[in-house]
């Protein structure tokens, strides 16, 4: 066999032995909404011919309660931040968590392959079909950024440096909690209580998160069964419970989550036109000074009962 044919055969064999993934990807590319997910990030090479010494992973807000796995020979750091929607983790409400994972100080040569691992949960409030997780490899004289996210109508395969992705699957029969947005304001957990036929007023409760960089103010809203809606505060004054209307509204600062709940800030539905019936969902809205109106549905809990809860579908992960 001639040397030319041998060289050609060697080239074919070398191509065939190249890993099937040239980009950073996840070993498990699917996850179920409301369930645990183990993210095994596969990093197949360095930056050009240089070794990778740092791997940064930016987590989308739908991945919550994340815990990264330490890696021998690498320093592990995390950065935390607020969740747009609070997450109920086995009865404990989480309002913030890990938003970025950084493994640094290691040495992944260009000719080698490695994996970086974290565990977490896909939030029950997730509505996206696909989650994109931007990843950046940093080397001595440059970086490889897997951070491109397809625009509407664009195929991920057309991107040169696509962010690793996770396709979301809705659990069968899983009831997803309603999430509403107006500008930078995110509203969830909207509920009220059943009322007797003669009741003139009722309380309304929601959780509001400001995901923006400026403060906004809740100034009112509407409720199908009421003549008007006011924003109130209930507080203790010298051992006496007092309630007052917040005529200037309720300010929500950047990154802040405020829960309107019994015994604290709440909405007051005035001049009820019909009783609230347990199990129903009643239409209403919230009005923000900057973000404007957002239409929402209020779930009706029993008289004196707690907020209605939907099945979380949450699974333990190890």
Give 80-108 pLDDT, tens digit per residue: 999 888 887 776 778 899 999 999 999 99
- Position 3 pLDDT exceeds 90: no
What is the pTM assigned to this prediction? 0.54
Give 52-86 pLDDT, tens digit per residue: 999 999 999 999 999 999 999 999 999 999 988 88
136 neighbors 143 (Cβ within 8 angstroms)? yes
- Position 304 pLDDT exceeds 90: no
87 neighbors 93 (Cβ within 8 angstroms)? yes
DSSP of 244-260? EE-TT-EEE-TT-EEE-
Spatial distance between the Cα atoms of 207 and 187, rounded to a whole number of angstroms? 6
Radius of gyration (Cα) for the chain, nearest Å? 25
Domains of the chain by residue range: 21-169, 179-301
What value does the mean pLDDT of the chain take?
A: 85
Q: Is it true that domain 21-169 has CATH number 2.60.40.2230?
A: yes
pLDDT of residue 69: 97
- Position 134 pLDDT exceeds 50: yes
Lowest pLDDT segment from 25-29, 103-107, 212-216, 308-312: 308-312
Quick one: pLDDT band at residue 9, thresholds 50, 70, 90? very low
Report percent pLDDT > 70 for the chain. Answer: 87
- Could you write out the three-class secondary structure of 30-86? EEECCCEEEEEEEECCCECCECEEEEEEECCCCEEEEEECCCCCCEEEEEEEEEEEE
Coil vs helix vs strand at 239: coil
- Position 1 pLDDT exceeds 50: no
Q: Which residues of 169-186 are buried (b: 16+ CB within 10 A; e: fewer)?
A: eebeebebbbbbebebbb
Q: Is it true that domain 179-301 has CATH number 2.60.40.1890?
A: yes
Decide which of 34 and 166 is more confident. 166
- Position 49 pLDDT exceeds 90: no
Dihedral angle over CA of 194, 196, 197, 198, nearest 10: -130
DSSP conformation class of 5: H
- Position 17 pLDDT exceeds 70: no
The encoded tokens of residue 259 equal 């829960």
- Position 118 pLDDT exceeds 70: yes
Give 177-231 pLDDT, tens digit per residue: 578 888 899 998 899 999 988 899 999 999 999 988 999 999 999 999 999 999 9
């Amino acid at each position: 066999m001639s040397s030319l044919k041998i060289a050609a055969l060697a080239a074919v064999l070398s191509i065939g032995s190249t890993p099937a993934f040239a980009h950073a990807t996840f070993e498990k590319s699917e996850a179920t909404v409301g369930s645990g997910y183990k993210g095994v990030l596969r990093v197949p090479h360095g930056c050009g011919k240089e070794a990778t010494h740092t791997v940064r992973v930016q987590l989308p807000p739908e991945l919550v309660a994340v815990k990264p796995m330490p890696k021998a020979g690498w320093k592990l750091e995390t950065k935390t931040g607020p969740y747009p929607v609070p997450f109920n983790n086995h009865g404990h409400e989480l309002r913030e968590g890990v938003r970025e994972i950084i493994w640094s100080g290691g040495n992944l040569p260009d000719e080698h392959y490695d994996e970086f691992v974290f565990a977490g949960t896909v939030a029950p409030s997730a509505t996206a079909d696909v989650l994109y997780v931007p990843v950046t490899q940093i080397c001595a004289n440059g970086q490889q950024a897997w951070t491109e996210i397809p625009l509407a109508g664009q195929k991920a395969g057309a991107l040169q440096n696509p962010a690793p992705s996770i396709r979301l699957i809705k659990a069968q029969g899983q009831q997803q909690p309603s999430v509403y947005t107006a500008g930078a304001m995110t509203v969830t957990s909207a509920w009220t209580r059943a009322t007797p036929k003669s009741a003139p007023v009722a309380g309304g409760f929601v959780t509001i998160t400001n995901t923006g960089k400026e403060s906004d103010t809740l100034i009112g809203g509407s409720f199908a069964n009421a003549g008007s809606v006011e924003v109130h505060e209930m507080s203790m004054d010298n051992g006496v419970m007092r309630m007052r209307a917040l005529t200037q509204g309720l300010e929500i600062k950047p990154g802040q989550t405020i829960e309107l709940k019994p015994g604290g800030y709440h909405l007051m539905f005035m001049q009820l036109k019909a009783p609230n019936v347990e199990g129903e969902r009643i239409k209403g809205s919230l009005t923000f000074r900057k973000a404007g109106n957002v239409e929402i549905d209020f779930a009706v809990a029993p008289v004196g009962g707690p907020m209605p809860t939907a099945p979380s579908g949450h699974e333990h992960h190890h």
